[in-house]
């Protein structure tokens, strides 16, 4: 067994970050808040409660939190039947599975949303398990979702590589002691991802797949190889 290949989903395997941005923007608007979309984009990847607190602050009317979160869920749900996976997403997971990596998804999605995402990726046969922020006390950037993914895969953190697209992903991986690979497909700048702990950076899953042999997933390389990606 090569180790655990842990993947974030939104912005990493599926082209959904900007769908989340629009849904959150409208949810905030309905509650009487004007929140700039670039600020929302940089917060995507956090759990609902953490995202709302980051964008509205600690002195907000917390009684609105549930309604804002519910509005986002309903608005985002309108995209479930047409969620797009990035080119190469399913092939990458199947290739890693075929090379002996244990593939685990680490995502805050659950229920119908997770089912829609998995349909879009279309690689269920390659996915061993899913670690959701709903299964832990703290979601990313806390290390718990990544640590849970390692346990589900039955590997030590040093034998795992985490692939994500946000600073929260990179921070969670670094804090869990797991190798961190970043993708630019979520819209976050390379410099931000590298500051957060990315050891290698690629444009998207298609480029990672094309350069797999020279990546931390390549033969003779491991999570701690520190190999730089292209992009």
Domain harbouring 31, CATH code: 1.10.150
| Containing structural domain, residue 207 | 3-16+84-214
Statement: residue 134 has pLDDT above 90: no
Is there a single domain that holds both residue 52 and residue 120?
no
Q: CA 140 to CA 120: how far, in whole Å?
A: 23
What is the model's pLDDT at position 225? 43
Q: CA 189 to CA 212: how far, in whole Å?
A: 22
DSSP code of residue 161: E
Q: CA 115 to CA 117: how far, in whole Å?
A: 5
Is there a single domain that holds both residue 133 and residue 100?
yes
What is the model's pLDDT at position 220? 73
CB 65 within 8 A of CB 49: yes
Statement: residue 224 has pLDDT above 70: no
The residue-averaged pLDDT of 76-104 equals 97
What is the model's pLDDT at position 135? 87
The residue-averaged pLDDT of 207-220 equals 94
CB 49 within 8 A of CB 62: no
What is the model's pLDDT at position 221? 59
CA 100 to chain centroid: 22
- Looking at every residue in the chain, the average pLDDT score rounds to 94
Is position 230 within any domain?
no
The residue-averaged pLDDT of 17-43 equals 98
What is the model's pLDDT at position 16? 98
65 contacts: CB under 8 Å, gap ≥ 6: 49, 52
The residue-averaged pLDDT of 149-174 equals 97
Confidence grade of residue 227 (pLDDT, cut at 50, 70, 90) = very low
The residue-averaged pLDDT of 80-101 equals 97
Is there a single domain that holds both residue 27 and residue 108?
no
Q: Looking at the DSSP assignment, which residues form a beta bridge with residue 44?
A: 46
Statement: residue 136 has pLDDT above 90: no
Confidence grade of residue 217 (pLDDT, cut at 50, 70, 90) = very high
What is the model's pTM?
Answer: 0.93
Q: Provide the domain count of the chain.
A: 2
Higher pLDDT, 1 or 179: 179
Burial class of residue 196, CB neighbours in 10 A (0-12, 13-18, 19+):
buried
């Amino acid at each position: 067994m090569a180790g655990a290949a842990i993947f974030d989903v939104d912005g990493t395997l599926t082209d959904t970050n900007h769908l989340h941005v629009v849904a959150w923007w409208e949810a905030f608007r309905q509650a009487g808040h004007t929140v700039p979309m670039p600020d929302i984009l940089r917060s995507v990847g956090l759990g609902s409660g953490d995202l709302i607190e980051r964008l509205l602050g600690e002195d907000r009317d917390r009684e609105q939190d549930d309604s804002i979160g519910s509005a986002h869920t309903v608005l985002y749900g309108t995209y479930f039947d047409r969620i797009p996976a990035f080119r190469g997403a399913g092939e990458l997971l199947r290739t890693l599975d075929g090379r002996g990596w244990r593939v685990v998804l680490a995502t805050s999605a659950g229920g119908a949303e997770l089912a829609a995402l998995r349909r879009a990726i279309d690689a269920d046969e390659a996915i061993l398990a899913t670690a959701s922020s709903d299964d832990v006390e703290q979601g990313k950037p806390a290390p718990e979702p990544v640590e849970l993914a390692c346990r589900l895969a039955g590997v030590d953190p040093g034998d795992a590589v985490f692939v994500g697209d946000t600073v929260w992903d990179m921070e969670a991986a670094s804090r869990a002691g797991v190798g961190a690979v970043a993708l630019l497909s979520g819209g976050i700048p390379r410099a931000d991802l590298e500051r957060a702990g990315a050891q290698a950076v690629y444009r998207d899953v298609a480029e990672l797949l094309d350069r797999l042999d020279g990546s931390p997933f390549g033969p003779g390389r491991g999570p701690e190889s520190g190999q730089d990606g292209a992009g």
